[in-house]
Structure 1
Amino acid sequence: LARMRSQLDAQRQTLEERERDKRAAGQFSRAVPKLSHTMADFMDVERSNRKREELFHEAFKESYNFEKKEVLLKGFKFAVAGPVLRPAAESPFLPNLLLTSLASGEDRPTVKLLERVMQKRVSLVTFVYNQFGVPHVNSFLEPFRAAFPSLASPSSPTPTPSTAAPSLQVIQCNIEENWAKSMIFKWLLRWLRWKIPRAEHDNYLLGYENIKDARRRAGMSNATLGWVNLVDGRGRVRWQAHGDATPEEIDALITVTKELLN
């Protein structure tokens, strides 16, 4: 990059000197308009700096399989989640995605994720981006539901006022970031409705877009893993874990959920 910068500076300086000499001699460039435009762009310092930044990011950007390679190197567990809540001021916000509910009916309602989260005081929001993440998320969900029986039972056809939690909910997000696979994913909706208990359809949300930047801002750095996020009523991620649940993480999740509810 330093060598490229010095070469560009030298070439731009040469062009500027030639143009000054021509103007001093009363001559004008006879370059064709396209070439003149190219020379003007080349001598534009700001444009050159932007181009260098683009070249830099292009040279060092992640490969398509970077996240899969990361899992091969580190395994499905990068770190064990801590036993305490993040301070609210230091917690990232959940991305406000526009998703589709699995609720039955041809006209499936679209849902703004943050609006759904703000309906309850506490939400456990899970994210899977492929089949690898499903068992990861389930390893947290099963003991979580057992610890909070006020959540709607998956065996119930629909949540009732007596079984629904007034301050706690589970939201499952299934995101397909690959546009080619998303077409196949849409064809599997009937199978998903059959597989997912009916009581969970309303809060089982589907997305068909690349959200890499948004999910990384929220702390979900790798789409090969399944992620669980404990989110407060303002949409802040107060606790987060990934991969298969450890006994310590399950205990921590239950403890911090009770703390956040109180």
Structure 2
Amino acid sequence: MRSLPSLRSGIQAGLRPSQRSVLFRVRYVSSTPSRQSSEPPAPQAEAVPGSAKGKEKEAVSSVDASQAVAQDELPLLQRPLGVREKPKARVRTWSDAKEKFMDQDKRMEERTHLAREATRGYFADLNATRKHGGKTWIAPKVMIREDKALYFPDIHGATLAGEEKAHTTNILDGKVSVVTLLTTRISEIQTAHFVEPTQKAFGSNPDFQLVQINLQDNLVKSWLVSLFTSGIKKQVPEQLWPTYMISNQNMEYLREPLGIANKHVGYVYLVDSDKKIRWAACADPKSEEVAALTTCTNVLLDRLAKQREALAAPESLPVEKQP
């Protein structure tokens, strides 16, 4: 029988871990995160301005900046304004509305119009004045071509001269006209800055006229404006009373054709003797826009004068040959 000390040493030898397990445990301990944390971290490469990554970042930032500037800039007028059908001096009746809904194309236009108006908020125009003062496009420096130009629609109302049933179709016929749409006090100031140089230059020309249309399609506002007609007469020169119109006509269906994106700002249209819109501007005037209006008006007046001279000149009679 084995002695007690020898038995104890045998048990301890059986419980002692082998050398392989110790080496494995040492290797395992050497790969722990606590030991890795004692080593200094590897240095990271900095972005050098002249490196490829630096150039790429600079290029991306310059592209973003140019896109932001492009989005902030206003575009030029992209399309002719007006209506395709030649206007007539009459007020629309129920029969006209019935005829309109019998036409398939007009019904589709009506559906598109209703869908567009349904998506507009009540304060959409007022909120739009926070950006560029409500200006949505820049007036062109040249006129719209005659074959591409559209007609100014018929707007009816009462003039300061006392005519109760005046129509723009009759007023604009045969003359070069600068037409302004007024809805608010700010629109009056904006359009006045637009037309003042042109009015001074051509106000004495019999072929030129300034037509101002005070649009108040809201019944309450229209009633208030009619009450203060005497006050308007004091502000408007008497020679302009026949071409100053106060109208409560509903402009809902003419906003898109006339480019009225914001009803709180003023709009200016240059209309030729055939009642076609050849130039247009909106909101706060820019110096180049004011100059373009004067230049285009001068061109139309010269063309109209030459046309009248050609019509007034007697036709040359054929000369008979002597036998």
Is the counterpart of residue 186 in structure 1 residue 240 in structure 2? no
The two structures, once aligned, show a CA RMSD in angstroms of 2.2
Map 1:38-187; keep pairs closer than 5 Å: 57=115, 60-104=118-162, 108-120=163-175, 122-148=176-202, 151=203, 163=204, 165-187=205-227
- What's the CA shift for 1:59? 9.1
- Which range moved further: 76-85 or 236-245? 76-85
2:281 alignment partner in structure 1: 241
Q: Residues 188 and 84 (structure 1 numbering): CA distance in 2 closer, same or farther, change over 3 Å?
A: same
Q: CA separation in 2, counterparts of 1:181 and 1:75?
A: 23
1:258 alignment partner in structure 2: 298
Q: CA separation in 1, counterparts of 2:277 and 2:130?
A: 27
**Contact map agreement 2:156 2:249 (CA 8 A) in 1:** no
Q: CA separation in 2, counterparts of 1:228 and 1:242?
A: 6
Q: CA separation in 1, counterparts of 2:255 and 2:116?
A: 21
Counterpart selection for 2:272 from 202, 223, 232: 232
- What's the CA shift for 1:118? 0.7
Q: Deviations over 1:63-112 (max 9, x none)?
A: 222211222234233232111001123323212011211115xxx33211
**Contact map agreement 1:125 1:229 (CA 8 A) in 2:** yes
- What's the CA shift for 1:212? 2.6
Match of 1:200, SS? helix
Q: CA separation in 1, counterparts of 2:293 and 2:115?
A: 38
Q: Residues 245 and 59 (structure 1 numbering): CA distance in 2 closer, same or farther, change over 3 Å?
A: closer
Q: Larger relative CO (CA 8 A, sep 6+): 1 or 2?
A: 1
1:217 alignment partner in structure 2: 257
Match of 1:75, SS? helix
Q: CA separation in 1, counterparts of 2:130 and 2:170?
A: 36
Q: CA separation in 2, counterparts of 1:90 and 1:257?
A: 18
Q: Deviations over 1:199-253 (max 9, x none)?
A: 1111111101321321431223221111110001121111001112211111111
- What's the CA shift for 1:176? 0.6
Q: CA separation in 2, counterparts of 1:216 and 1:183?
A: 26
Match of 2:253, SS? helix
**Contact map agreement 2:161 2:242 (CA 8 A) in 1:** yes
Match of 1:190, SS? helix
**Contact map agreement 1:129 1:177 (CA 8 A) in 2:** no
Q: CA separation in 2, counterparts of 1:217 and 1:78?
A: 15
User: What letter matches 2:130 in structure 1?
Assistant: L
1:32 alignment partner in structure 2: none
Q: Deviations over 1:134-189 (max 9, x none)?
A: 110100121112222xx2xxxxxxxxxxx4x2221111111112122211111111
User: What letter matches 1:181 in structure 2?
Assistant: K
Q: CA separation in 2, counterparts of 1:238 and 1:58?
A: 27
User: What letter matches 2:188 in structure 1?
Assistant: V
Q: Residues 247 and 124 (structure 1 numbering): CA distance in 2 closer, same or farther, change over 3 Å?
A: same
User: What letter matches 2:200 in structure 1?
Assistant: A
Specify every segment of 5 or more residues in structure 2 that has no aligned partner in the other structure, as ranges. 1-107, 304-323
Match of 1:100, SS? strand
Aligned length: 192
* Max Rg structure: 2
- What's the CA shift for 1:190? 1.3
